[in-house]
Amino acid sequence: MDKKAQVQIDPETYRLHLNLIFQQVALSRFIKAADILDAMSRGDTIGPILDPTLWINAHAAMDVQREIVEAYRIFQRRIDEITLEHTAWNNTSKP
């Protein structure tokens, strides 16, 4: 990679962004993405029966929302995996 293609980030911005990432990780513990996906599935099941017009009008937006929540759930799972791996490694590396 040539030097012109390298991205430079100043230390202040680096710390700020890293702090924001770790804040998001901490917040992700409180967001119930799996529950949101379950509620969306239930809405898709009963929505057309309870209020077909509303369901039809809202369905397209729900597809986008579902994709975002699914991506967030993948993020949460990966954070859980990393945390578990790190915890397991720390527990086995101690005398």
Structural tokens at position 14: 């680096």
- Look at residues 19, 37, 48, 18 and name the one whose alpha carbon lies nearest to residue 76: 37
Q: Coil, helix or strand for 32? A: coil
pLDDT tens string 20-76:
999 999 999 999 999 999 999 998 899 899 999 988 888 888 899 999 999 999 999
CA atoms within 13 A on the CB side of 45: 6
Helices (H), 29-94: 33-50, 52-93
Q: Where in the chain are the domains? A: 3-93
Structural tokens at position 36: 């949101």
Amino acid at site 44? D
Separation between Cα atoms, residue 47 and residue 89, nearest integer Å: 46
pLDDT tens string 3-33:
666 778 899 999 999 999 999 999 999 999 9
